Structure 1
Amino acid sequence: MNKDVQDRFEQLPPQGRSRAKELRRLIISIAEQNQLGPIEEALKWGEISFSVAGGSPIRMDCKVSSPESFFVYFHCQTKLVDTFRELYPNLCAYHGNRALEFHSSEPLPSTELSHCIELALTYHKRKHLPMLGA
């Protein structure tokens, strides 16, 4: 993990940091299971970002205006969030076509979220398929 990303993790509130570390482990695990190559971890717009070749970036953050929430962001010009909403209407609070919002003190729904992460990390192979091949 690079220094900027590590510093941003440390700036998150404790519950958000716990969710962020959990999500990071999930992303790394899915990338390894699917042999997607190296993961680039960086800060994009001040948010922790993960990307792999052939995938769409995934960002995460906690916002000062919503300290009880944990957000996972996806590129707004993809079909990702619309597909997630169709597949898992009760997964979380959806924000337009770019974000999923989870309560920081609740466990992440790992099964459904893992599927969403896999779709994002393999997006460019799937984007032409109905419902991204889900």
Structure 2
Amino acid sequence: MKQRIPDLPPPVAAAYDSYSRKARGQLLLVRTILYETAHSLPEAGQINETLKWGEPAYLTEHPKSGTTIRLAWSPKRPNSAGIFVNCRTTLLDEWRVLYGDTLDLVGNREIRLALGETLPAQPVKHCISMALTYHQRKPAQ
């Protein structure tokens, strides 16, 4: 059974409304994938949708199983949008091994999405699941 995707909180909706039409459509699709993925992972727990740095952000709260995922677009890069994670995680290194030939991975925190191209849904879904469970999976420091 498909879980219902929550309505956008007004401040988050305003952030999405500030994005270009193409970016908004692409990132709202990523948001849907994020919620569907979270619903399929009981260990991810409750997702809190908020703003961080004025951008839509998604964090696991109960339990704190994962790292924050931000969805962002900037007019400085009008033809792309990004899925961002904390730069102190090892996620980008892991994703490069798995999806270095499939995804545009930038630095130590971004999956860059080309607007106007088909979203690579399966790799994005897997990366989201890894971010939502990051603290449960990472080795003890």
Report the TM-score, using the length of structure 2 for normalisation: 0.87
Distance 1:104 1:82 in 2: 24
- Deviation string 1:60-96 (CA, Å, 9 cap, x unpaired) is 1111111000111010000001110111112232221
Residue in 2 that maps onto 1:61: 72
Q: Which runs of 5+ in 2 are unaligned?
A: 1-7
- 1:5 is the counterpart of 2:16: no
Give me the whole-angstrom Cα distance separating, in 2, the residues matched to 1:48 and 1:72.
10
**Match 1:99 to one of 110, 127, 131:** 110
- What is the CA distance between 1:109 and its match in structure 2? 0.5
Partner of 1:119: 130
More moved, 89-98 vs 19-28: 89-98
Identity %: 31
Question: Which residue among 45, 48, 55 is the counterpart of 2:56?
Answer: 48
Alignment length, in residue pairs?
129
C-alpha distance in structure 2 between counterparts of 1:37 and 1:6, whole Å = 23
Gaps in structure 1 of 5+ consecutive residues: 130-134
Residue 22 of structure 2 is matched in structure 1 by 15
The equivalent position to 2:99 in structure 1, one of 88, 92, 107, is 88
Q: CA deviation at 1:56?
A: 0.5
Of residues 62, 69, 86, the one that matches 1:75 is 86
- State the AA in 2 paired with 1:12: Y
Deviations 1:79-123 (A, max 9, x none): 001110111112232221111111111121011111100000000
Q: Which runs of 4+ in 1 moved over 6 A?
A: none
Distance 2:73 2:17 in 1: 12
- Aligned-residue Cα RMSD (Å) equals 1.2
